[in-house]
Structure 1
Amino acid sequence: MEFIVDTVNLEEIKDAVDHMPIVGVTSNPSIVKQTNPENFFEHMRKIREIIGMERSLHVQVISKNSDEMVAEAHRILKEIDDQVYIKVPVSYEGMKAIKTLKAEGVKVTATAVYDLMQAYMALAANVDYIAPYVNRIGNLGADPMDLISNLSDRIAVDGYNTKIVAASFKGVQQVRDSFNFGAHAITAPVAVLKQIFANPNIEKAVDDFNKDWYAMYGENVGICEL
């Protein structure tokens, strides 16, 4: 089970890595636009400095032509580092680029997945991650959890090492369901992950515990003051 954050905001990434068991960072052109860094590659290198080499960094190509996608992937790997996962949309041209990059030994995250057959194509190409768009699939009237469940079963039956990284979330319930239906990882905005801890009962429980403690040992006498 992997928690990944979908942001390039440096402060958000620092905060998330400090507080939660975050194992990676994903991005796409729309996510980058929210932060609008002046120097894209320098910004992505700063993210790598924050997360270290032990966490994954996923960066997306923008071209629609396979040869240009591959060229962009090579530039990304040169400018950031050779451990970056290249995000490639699972289009017809994207599949050609995926095959080329995997033949070169590049780590690939197949993205913009809306359909199970799209996912199967990416799976057969031995990508490292497949990213179904949970909320967007639901908005189109399909069941994203059915896709995740079937894909998870196929990965297990055929023995692939590919991981499902569910993406596109509006709330915690979608994150929970994705894991429960077989996703190996999720990538979500930091704000969505913080909602996990927004239950007022958590704060009430801590306040009740503190009240009982201070009733015994005196106000402002914590464990370190004993």
Structure 2
Amino acid sequence: MALRLFLDSADPQAWQQWLPSGLFHGVTTNPTLLRRANQPCSLHGLAELSRVALAHGIAELHLQAWGANAAEMLHCGQALAALAPGRIAVKLPVTEQGAAVARELVRSGVPITFTACYEPHQVLIAAALGVAYIAPYLGRINDQGRDGVAEVIAMQRSLAGVGASVRLLVASLRQPHELTRLAGAGLNTFTISPELAAALFSCEATEAASAQFEQDAQA
């Protein structure tokens, strides 16, 4: 499977900066990112935000459903998917309630992204239900004193071992070297913050060489 990068942001200014680069297959959001970007977490607000995001030509937009119970979460997920059928992936927590909702949405052809994955065995839930993605939180696993890279690689091996088509959408990445280590181990789907996107382009030697090229072109 080919590399897929997602921009992890609900900020339209960040979309304007980074999506024209052509690096990103899509955008991922959640209620926390919406709050940080001063965007309303409501169906009406997400309808407008989706229009803006999809106008950039991305293939997928991942929106998180919410609800006090499974019925409310299912209704929310259905409404989100209907904003742009085929281009919206509905995000659900990998919980018992999230799994029940995922089952119904998968049956109706809605792509699902399980979120808040912390344990290797959780990827088997995603494989059993046939969801499109599951997102392990690498940085937060590290924060628990564990080796996040090793555990994410273990998750990928489990999915490969059962022949699952689920993509491991690695989230909570903080350093470029985490991307390269995981890519070297065969992982190919990542969601990154605008700050990490900037870090990918941060290389003093490259900047110096580029400046020299410009100087020589004018000589």
Fold agreement, TM-score > 0.5: yes
List runs of 5+ in structure 1 lacking aligned partners. 219-226
Asked if residue 77 in structure 1 is aligned to residue 81 in structure 2, the reply is: yes
Instruction: Compute the displacement of 1:136 (Å).
Output: 0.4
Instruction: Compute the displacement of 1:106 (Å).
Output: 1.1
Counterpart for residue 223 of structure 1: none
The equivalences for 1:30-179 within 5 A come to 30-37=32-39, 39-52=45-58, 55-78=59-82, 80-83=83-86, 84-179=88-183
* Partner Cα distance (1:92, 1:167) in 2: 21
Instruction: Compute the displacement of 1:183 (Å).
Output: 2.5
RMSD, aligned CA: 1.7
Counterpart for residue 3 of structure 1: 5
Question: Cα deviation per residue 1:109-157 (whole Å; 9 max; x = unaligned)?
Answer: 0110000111211222111011000000110112222222122223323
SS of the residue corresponding to residue 7 of structure 2 reads strand
Instruction: Compute the displacement of 1:211 (Å).
Output: 3.9
* Partner Cα distance (2:69, 2:145) in 1: 29
What TM-score, normalized to structure 1? Answer: 0.86
The answer on whether the counterparts of 2:78 and 2:105 sit within 8 Å (CA) in structure 1 is no
Instruction: Compute the displacement of 1:212 (Å).
Output: 4.0
AA of the residue aligned to 1:40: L
Structure that is richer in helix per residue: 1
CA distance 1:132–1:182, change in 2 (3 Å): farther
What TM-score, normalized to structure 2? Answer: 0.89
Of 209, 213, 216 in structure 1, the residue corresponding to residue 213 of structure 2 is 209
Q: In percent, how many aligned pairs have the same letter?
A: 24
Instruction: Compute the displacement of 1:90 (Å).
Output: 0.3
The worse-fitting range, judged by mean Cα deviation, of 22-31 and 62-71 is: 62-71
Counterpart for residue 20 of structure 2: 18
* Partner Cα distance (1:165, 1:205) in 2: 34
Question: Cα deviation per residue 1:172-219 (whole Å; 9 max; x = unaligned)?
Answer: 2223233233322100111211111111111111233344444xxx3x
Aligned residues: 212
List runs of 5+ in structure 2 lacking aligned partners. none
Higher Cα Rg, which structure = 1
* Partner Cα distance (1:20, 1:143) in 2: 32
SS of the residue corresponding to residue 80 of structure 2 reads helix
SS of the residue corresponding to residue 151 of structure 2 reads helix
Question: Cα deviation per residue 1:23-52 (whole Å; 9 max; x = unaligned)?
Answer: 000000001112223533212221112234
AA of the residue aligned to 1:11: Q
CA distance 1:24–1:109, change in 2 (3 Å): same
The answer on whether the counterparts of 1:134 and 1:166 sit within 8 Å (CA) in structure 2 is yes
SS of the residue corresponding to residue 22 of structure 1 reads coil
